Amino acid sequence: MSSHKHPLGTVAELGEEAVGGLSKALSGELILPDHSEYNDARDVWNGLVNRYPAVVVRATGGQDVATAVSFAREHGLDLSVRGGAHQQAGDAVVDNGLVVDLSECDEITVDPERQVATVGPGNRAEDVLAETQEYGLAMPTGSAGCVGIPGTTLNGGVGWIRRKHGLSVDALRSMEVVTADGSLVEASPDTNTDLFWAMRGGDGNFGVVTNFEFDLYEVGPVVGALNVFYPADIVDEVLRTYRDFAADAPEELTTIVNYGEIPAIPPMPDHLHGEEAVGLIGCYTGDPEEGMETVAPLREVGDPLIDASDVMPYEALHEVGTLMHP
Protein backbone atom coordinates (compact mmCIF):
# COMPACT_ATOMS: atom_id res chain seq x y z
CA MET A 1 0.00 0.00 0.00
CA SER A 2 1.35 3.43 -0.91
CA SER A 3 -0.27 5.25 2.04
CA HIS A 4 0.45 4.85 5.74
CA LYS A 5 -3.26 5.05 6.51
CA HIS A 6 -5.64 2.12 5.93
CA PRO A 7 -8.77 3.07 3.92
CA LEU A 8 -11.02 1.31 6.44
CA GLY A 9 -9.70 3.73 9.03
CA THR A 10 -10.77 6.64 6.87
CA VAL A 11 -14.25 5.15 6.53
CA ALA A 12 -14.46 4.76 10.32
CA GLU A 13 -13.49 8.40 10.76
CA LEU A 14 -16.27 9.47 8.39
CA GLY A 15 -18.75 7.62 10.59
CA GLU A 16 -21.68 5.35 9.85
CA GLU A 17 -24.14 8.23 9.67
CA ALA A 18 -22.20 10.11 6.98
CA VAL A 19 -21.44 7.01 4.91
CA GLY A 20 -25.00 5.75 5.27
CA GLY A 21 -26.35 9.13 4.19
CA LEU A 22 -24.16 9.07 1.11
CA SER A 23 -25.35 5.58 0.22
CA LYS A 24 -29.02 6.59 0.52
CA ALA A 25 -28.49 9.69 -1.63
CA LEU A 26 -27.06 7.69 -4.53
CA SER A 27 -28.86 5.95 -7.36
CA GLY A 28 -25.65 4.09 -8.08
CA GLU A 29 -23.52 1.87 -5.88
CA LEU A 30 -21.29 2.79 -2.95
CA ILE A 31 -18.19 0.60 -2.80
CA LEU A 32 -16.18 0.51 0.43
CA PRO A 33 -12.90 -1.36 1.12
CA ASP A 34 -14.74 -4.47 2.38
CA HIS A 35 -16.89 -4.70 -0.78
CA SER A 36 -16.36 -7.74 -3.06
CA GLU A 37 -15.80 -5.43 -6.08
CA TYR A 38 -13.42 -3.04 -4.30
CA ASN A 39 -10.27 -4.30 -6.04
CA ASP A 40 -11.91 -4.11 -9.45
CA ALA A 41 -13.09 -0.57 -8.69
CA ARG A 42 -9.56 0.62 -7.88
CA ASP A 43 -7.89 -1.14 -10.80
CA VAL A 44 -6.30 0.94 -13.57
CA TRP A 45 -4.38 0.21 -16.79
CA ASN A 46 -0.96 0.90 -15.29
CA GLY A 47 -0.20 -2.10 -13.10
CA LEU A 48 2.44 -0.15 -11.16
CA VAL A 49 -0.31 2.05 -9.66
CA ASN A 50 -1.67 0.46 -6.48
CA ARG A 51 -3.85 2.91 -4.57
CA TYR A 52 -6.52 2.34 -1.96
CA PRO A 53 -9.44 4.78 -1.93
CA ALA A 54 -11.66 5.03 1.14
CA VAL A 55 -14.86 5.39 -0.89
CA VAL A 56 -15.81 4.58 -4.48
CA VAL A 57 -19.04 6.00 -5.88
CA ARG A 58 -20.12 4.04 -8.96
CA ALA A 59 -22.31 6.75 -10.44
CA THR A 60 -25.27 6.25 -12.76
CA GLY A 61 -25.56 9.87 -13.87
CA GLY A 62 -24.87 13.52 -13.23
CA GLN A 63 -26.78 13.75 -9.97
CA ASP A 64 -24.73 10.92 -8.42
CA VAL A 65 -21.55 12.70 -9.46
CA ALA A 66 -22.78 15.97 -7.95
CA THR A 67 -23.60 14.16 -4.70
CA ALA A 68 -20.16 12.55 -4.61
CA VAL A 69 -18.30 15.81 -5.30
CA SER A 70 -20.27 17.59 -2.58
CA PHE A 71 -19.58 14.77 -0.10
CA ALA A 72 -15.85 14.85 -0.81
CA ARG A 73 -15.75 18.63 -0.34
CA GLU A 74 -17.77 18.56 2.90
CA HIS A 75 -15.58 15.84 4.43
CA GLY A 76 -12.20 17.06 3.17
CA LEU A 77 -11.53 14.00 1.00
CA ASP A 78 -9.20 14.00 -1.96
CA LEU A 79 -11.20 13.35 -5.13
CA SER A 80 -10.37 11.47 -8.32
CA VAL A 81 -12.42 10.52 -11.36
CA ARG A 82 -12.26 7.09 -12.98
CA GLY A 83 -13.40 7.06 -16.61
CA GLY A 84 -11.60 4.63 -18.91
CA ALA A 85 -8.89 4.22 -16.20
CA HIS A 86 -6.29 4.24 -18.97
CA GLN A 87 -4.09 7.21 -18.07
CA GLN A 88 -0.50 6.12 -17.47
CA ALA A 89 -0.09 8.16 -14.28
CA GLY A 90 -3.04 6.37 -12.68
CA ASP A 91 -4.72 9.55 -11.42
CA ALA A 92 -8.10 7.80 -11.70
CA VAL A 93 -7.64 6.49 -8.14
CA VAL A 94 -6.53 8.24 -4.97
CA ASP A 95 -5.34 6.89 -1.62
CA ASN A 96 -7.82 7.33 1.27
CA GLY A 97 -10.03 9.62 -0.78
CA LEU A 98 -13.16 9.36 -2.91
CA VAL A 99 -13.20 7.93 -6.43
CA VAL A 100 -16.04 8.85 -8.75
CA ASP A 101 -16.35 5.78 -10.98
CA LEU A 102 -18.10 6.61 -14.28
CA SER A 103 -17.99 3.11 -15.79
CA GLU A 104 -21.78 2.67 -15.53
CA CYS A 105 -22.45 5.95 -17.35
CA ASP A 106 -22.07 4.23 -20.71
CA GLU A 107 -25.05 5.40 -22.74
CA ILE A 108 -24.48 6.19 -26.43
CA THR A 109 -27.11 7.76 -28.68
CA VAL A 110 -26.47 8.32 -32.38
CA ASP A 111 -28.57 10.63 -34.56
CA PRO A 112 -27.39 9.77 -38.07
CA GLU A 113 -29.53 12.45 -39.74
CA ARG A 114 -28.09 15.29 -37.67
CA GLN A 115 -24.73 13.51 -37.47
CA VAL A 116 -24.56 14.00 -33.72
CA ALA A 117 -23.76 11.56 -30.91
CA THR A 118 -24.31 11.86 -27.18
CA VAL A 119 -21.77 9.81 -25.27
CA GLY A 120 -21.61 8.90 -21.60
CA PRO A 121 -18.20 9.20 -19.89
CA GLY A 122 -18.02 5.48 -19.10
CA ASN A 123 -17.29 4.64 -22.73
CA ARG A 124 -14.07 3.95 -24.57
CA ALA A 125 -13.30 4.83 -28.17
CA GLU A 126 -14.10 1.29 -29.35
CA ASP A 127 -17.57 1.49 -27.76
CA VAL A 128 -18.45 4.68 -29.60
CA LEU A 129 -17.05 3.49 -32.92
CA ALA A 130 -19.11 0.30 -32.70
CA GLU A 131 -22.25 2.46 -32.63
CA THR A 132 -21.34 5.20 -35.10
CA GLN A 133 -19.74 2.99 -37.75
CA GLU A 134 -23.09 1.30 -38.32
CA TYR A 135 -23.96 4.52 -40.15
CA GLY A 136 -20.53 5.13 -41.70
CA LEU A 137 -19.93 7.93 -39.21
CA ALA A 138 -17.22 8.68 -36.66
CA MET A 139 -16.05 11.39 -34.32
CA PRO A 140 -12.36 12.08 -33.71
CA THR A 141 -11.04 9.85 -30.91
CA GLY A 142 -7.66 8.64 -29.79
CA SER A 143 -5.78 6.29 -32.10
CA ALA A 144 -6.44 3.20 -29.94
CA GLY A 145 -9.83 1.69 -29.24
CA CYS A 146 -9.04 1.05 -25.57
CA VAL A 147 -8.68 4.69 -24.49
CA GLY A 148 -11.46 6.31 -22.47
CA ILE A 149 -13.56 9.05 -24.02
CA PRO A 150 -13.26 11.53 -21.09
CA GLY A 151 -9.48 11.51 -20.74
CA THR A 152 -8.91 11.44 -24.48
CA THR A 153 -11.33 14.26 -25.21
CA LEU A 154 -10.43 16.60 -22.36
CA ASN A 155 -6.73 16.33 -23.27
CA GLY A 156 -7.40 17.12 -26.92
CA GLY A 157 -8.06 13.78 -28.59
CA VAL A 158 -5.38 13.10 -31.22
CA GLY A 159 -6.45 10.39 -33.64
CA TRP A 160 -6.60 8.97 -37.15
CA ILE A 161 -8.79 11.62 -38.80
CA ARG A 162 -7.26 14.75 -37.30
CA ARG A 163 -6.01 16.35 -40.54
CA LYS A 164 -9.47 16.22 -42.11
CA HIS A 165 -11.71 16.61 -39.07
CA GLY A 166 -9.50 17.89 -36.26
CA LEU A 167 -9.23 16.67 -32.68
CA SER A 168 -11.90 15.37 -30.32
CA VAL A 169 -12.24 18.84 -28.80
CA ASP A 170 -12.96 20.29 -32.24
CA ALA A 171 -15.99 18.00 -32.62
CA LEU A 172 -17.29 18.71 -29.12
CA ARG A 173 -20.67 20.46 -29.21
CA SER A 174 -21.51 20.56 -25.51
CA MET A 175 -20.91 18.92 -22.15
CA GLU A 176 -22.82 18.30 -18.95
CA VAL A 177 -20.39 19.13 -16.16
CA VAL A 178 -20.34 18.87 -12.36
CA THR A 179 -18.26 21.76 -11.00
CA ALA A 180 -16.28 21.85 -7.76
CA ASP A 181 -19.23 23.22 -5.76
CA GLY A 182 -21.41 20.26 -6.79
CA SER A 183 -23.44 22.16 -9.39
CA LEU A 184 -24.59 20.30 -12.51
CA VAL A 185 -24.29 22.70 -15.47
CA GLU A 186 -24.12 22.75 -19.25
CA ALA A 187 -21.01 24.01 -21.02
CA SER A 188 -21.17 24.88 -24.71
CA PRO A 189 -20.25 27.66 -27.13
CA ASP A 190 -23.37 29.49 -25.92
CA THR A 191 -23.61 28.51 -22.24
CA ASN A 192 -20.87 28.80 -19.60
CA THR A 193 -18.53 29.63 -22.44
CA ASP A 194 -15.44 30.13 -20.26
CA LEU A 195 -15.90 26.68 -18.74
CA PHE A 196 -16.38 25.17 -22.20
CA TRP A 197 -13.16 26.83 -23.40
CA ALA A 198 -11.19 25.67 -20.35
CA MET A 199 -12.44 22.08 -20.38
CA ARG A 200 -11.35 21.57 -23.99
CA GLY A 201 -7.73 20.77 -23.23
CA GLY A 202 -7.77 21.36 -19.48
CA ASP A 203 -8.16 17.67 -18.59
CA GLY A 204 -10.46 17.22 -15.58
CA ASN A 205 -9.22 20.24 -13.67
CA PHE A 206 -12.40 22.30 -14.04
CA GLY A 207 -15.13 19.75 -13.50
CA VAL A 208 -16.39 16.20 -14.01
CA VAL A 209 -18.06 15.63 -17.38
CA THR A 210 -21.17 13.47 -17.10
CA ASN A 211 -22.23 13.65 -20.75
CA PHE A 212 -20.63 14.64 -24.06
CA GLU A 213 -22.25 15.73 -27.32
CA PHE A 214 -20.15 15.38 -30.49
CA ASP A 215 -20.40 16.16 -34.17
CA LEU A 216 -19.98 13.11 -36.39
CA TYR A 217 -18.32 12.93 -39.79
CA GLU A 218 -18.56 10.55 -42.73
CA VAL A 219 -15.72 8.09 -42.19
CA GLY A 220 -15.47 4.43 -43.14
CA PRO A 221 -16.69 1.84 -42.61
CA VAL A 222 -13.50 0.94 -44.51
CA VAL A 223 -10.44 3.15 -44.99
CA GLY A 224 -7.07 3.01 -46.67
CA ALA A 225 -4.49 2.10 -44.02
CA LEU A 226 -0.72 2.67 -44.21
CA ASN A 227 1.38 0.31 -42.10
CA VAL A 228 4.97 -0.13 -43.33
CA PHE A 229 8.23 -0.65 -41.43
CA TYR A 230 11.72 -0.09 -42.87
CA PRO A 231 15.12 -1.12 -41.53
CA ALA A 232 16.78 1.41 -39.25
CA ASP A 233 19.79 1.73 -41.57
CA ILE A 234 17.72 3.61 -44.19
CA VAL A 235 16.02 5.92 -41.70
CA ASP A 236 17.52 9.07 -43.29
CA GLU A 237 16.10 8.18 -46.70
CA VAL A 238 12.71 7.29 -45.20
CA LEU A 239 12.46 10.58 -43.31
CA ARG A 240 13.54 12.64 -46.33
CA THR A 241 10.90 10.93 -48.47
CA TYR A 242 8.29 11.43 -45.79
CA ARG A 243 9.17 15.12 -45.39
CA ASP A 244 8.81 15.78 -49.11
CA PHE A 245 5.62 13.72 -49.33
CA ALA A 246 3.97 15.37 -46.31
CA ALA A 247 4.43 18.86 -47.75
CA ASP A 248 1.71 18.20 -50.34
CA ALA A 249 -0.24 15.34 -48.73
CA PRO A 250 -4.05 15.64 -48.96
CA GLU A 251 -5.90 16.47 -45.75
CA GLU A 252 -7.72 13.13 -45.97
CA LEU A 253 -4.45 11.44 -44.99
CA THR A 254 -3.26 11.41 -41.37
CA THR A 255 0.11 9.79 -40.68
CA ILE A 256 2.41 8.96 -37.78
CA VAL A 257 6.17 8.28 -37.95
CA ASN A 258 7.64 5.94 -35.35
CA TYR A 259 11.27 5.08 -34.75
CA GLY A 260 11.87 2.24 -32.33
CA GLU A 261 11.56 -1.51 -31.97
CA ILE A 262 9.08 -3.53 -33.98
CA PRO A 263 6.31 -4.50 -31.53
CA ALA A 264 5.49 -8.13 -30.77
CA ILE A 265 1.99 -7.95 -32.20
CA PRO A 266 0.24 -9.40 -35.27
CA PRO A 267 1.02 -9.24 -38.17
CA MET A 268 4.67 -8.65 -37.24
CA PRO A 269 6.71 -11.85 -37.83
CA ASP A 270 8.32 -13.34 -34.73
CA HIS A 271 11.85 -12.97 -36.11
CA LEU A 272 11.39 -9.18 -36.41
CA HIS A 273 10.16 -8.57 -32.86
CA GLY A 274 12.45 -6.10 -31.12
CA GLU A 275 14.35 -5.09 -34.25
CA GLU A 276 15.00 -1.38 -34.67
CA ALA A 277 12.96 0.12 -37.48
CA VAL A 278 11.21 3.23 -38.73
CA GLY A 279 7.47 2.84 -39.18
CA LEU A 280 5.01 4.86 -41.25
CA ILE A 281 1.41 4.41 -40.11
CA GLY A 282 -1.62 6.25 -41.40
CA CYS A 283 -5.27 6.46 -42.35
CA TYR A 284 -6.94 7.86 -45.47
CA THR A 285 -10.52 8.97 -44.82
CA GLY A 286 -11.60 9.37 -48.45
CA ASP A 287 -12.09 6.63 -51.05
CA PRO A 288 -10.03 3.66 -49.76
CA GLU A 289 -8.59 2.68 -53.14
CA GLU A 290 -7.66 6.29 -53.81
CA GLY A 291 -5.99 6.26 -50.43
CA MET A 292 -3.85 3.26 -51.30
CA GLU A 293 -2.70 5.03 -54.46
CA THR A 294 -1.93 8.15 -52.43
CA VAL A 295 0.34 6.36 -49.94
CA ALA A 296 2.15 4.31 -52.60
CA PRO A 297 5.31 6.53 -52.51
CA LEU A 298 5.68 5.85 -48.79
CA ARG A 299 5.65 2.11 -49.48
CA GLU A 300 8.40 2.26 -52.09
CA VAL A 301 11.29 3.94 -50.25
CA GLY A 302 13.26 0.68 -50.03
CA ASP A 303 12.78 -2.95 -49.15
CA PRO A 304 10.44 -2.91 -46.14
CA LEU A 305 10.79 -5.29 -43.24
CA ILE A 306 7.03 -5.62 -43.41
CA ASP A 307 4.26 -3.88 -45.32
CA ALA A 308 0.79 -4.58 -43.94
CA SER A 309 -0.81 -1.60 -45.68
CA ASP A 310 -4.28 -2.39 -47.01
CA VAL A 311 -7.92 -1.43 -47.10
CA MET A 312 -9.39 -2.29 -43.70
CA PRO A 313 -12.33 -1.46 -41.44
CA TYR A 314 -11.88 1.83 -39.60
CA GLU A 315 -12.60 0.04 -36.32
CA ALA A 316 -9.80 -2.44 -37.06
CA LEU A 317 -7.31 0.42 -37.33
CA HIS A 318 -8.09 1.26 -33.70
CA GLU A 319 -7.61 -2.39 -32.76
CA VAL A 320 -4.09 -2.11 -34.16
CA GLY A 321 -3.64 0.98 -32.02
CA THR A 322 -4.77 -0.98 -28.98
CA LEU A 323 -2.25 -3.74 -29.69
CA MET A 324 0.53 -1.17 -29.94
CA HIS A 325 -0.65 0.64 -26.81
CA PRO A 326 -2.69 -1.91 -24.79
Tens of pLDDT along 175-193? 999 999 999 999 999 999 9
Angle between helices 7-14 and 16-25 (to 10 degrees): 90
Residues 208 and 265 both lie in one domain:
no
Does residue 319 sit in helix, strand or coil?
helix
Contact 280, 303 (CB under 8 A): no
Tell me, yes or no, whether 2 lies in a domain. no
Is 80 exceeded by the pLDDT of residue 323? no
- Which of 101, 126, 152 is at the close of a domain? 101
Residue spans of beta strands (DSSP E) within 232-320:
253-261, 276-284, 306-307, 310-313
Which residue, among 115, 2, 92, has the nearest Cα to 45 in the 3D structure? 92
Measure the CA–CA gap between 301 and 9, rounded to whole angstroms: 63
Does residue 105 sit in helix, strand or coil?
coil
- CA distances 127 to 153, 174, 258, 319, Å, are 14, 20, 27, 12
Residues 64 and 128 both lie in one domain:
no
Which amino acid is located at 174 in the chain? Answer: S
Q: Is the dihedral of CA 39, 42, 47, 48 positive or negative?
A: negative
- For residue 313, count CB atoms less than 10 angstroms from its CB and return exposed for 0-12, middle for 13-18, buried for 19 or more: middle
The number of domains in the chain is 3
User: What average pLDDT score do residues 274-282 get?
Assistant: 94
Is 50 exceeded by the pLDDT of residue 210? yes
Residues 214 and 122 both lie in one domain:
yes
CATH code for the domain of 20:
3.30.43.10
Which residue, among 212, 185, 210, 183, has the nearest Cα to 69 in the 3D structure? 183
DSSP annotation of 133: G
Residues 210 and 148 both lie in one domain:
yes
User: What average pLDDT score do residues 15-44 get?
Assistant: 94
Tell me, yes or no, whether 201 lies in a domain. yes
Measure the CA–CA gap between 90 and 49, rounded to whole angstroms: 6
The least confident of 176-185, 266-275, 300-309 is 266-275
The percentage of the chain sitting over the pLDDT mark of 70, rounded to a whole number, equals 97
Tell me, yes or no, whether 181 lies in a domain. yes
Q: For position 313, what pLDDT does the model report?
A: 96
Tell me, yes or no, whether 1 lies in a domain. no
CATH code for the domain of 146:
3.30.465.10
- CA distances 92 to 56, 206, 211, Å, are 11, 15, 18
pTM, two decimals, is 0.90
Residues 47 and 115 both lie in one domain:
no
Residues 112 and 212 both lie in one domain:
yes
Buried b vs exposed e over 144-153: b needs ≥16 C-beta within 10 Å? bbbbbbbbbb
Which amino acid is located at 317 in the chain? Answer: L
Q: For position 1, what pLDDT does the model report?
A: 42
Tell me, yes or no, whether 61 lies in a domain. yes
Q: For position 309, what pLDDT does the model report?
A: 96
Measure the CA–CA gap between 304 and 74, rounded to whole angstroms: 61
The pLDDT-based confidence of 322 (bands split at 50, 70, 90) is low
Measure the CA–CA gap between 69 and 98, rounded to whole angstroms: 9
Kindly report whether the peptide bond that precedes residue 221 is cis, defined as omega within 30 degrees of 0: yes
Is 70 exceeded by the pLDDT of residue 94? yes
Q: For position 325, what pLDDT does the model report?
A: 54
- Which of 62, 78, 101 is at the close of a domain? 101
Residues 131 and 163 both lie in one domain:
yes
User: What is the overall mean pLDDT for the chain?
Assistant: 92
Measure the CA–CA gap between 126 and 118, rounded to whole angstroms: 15
Which domain covers residue 196, as residue numbers?
Answer: 108-218
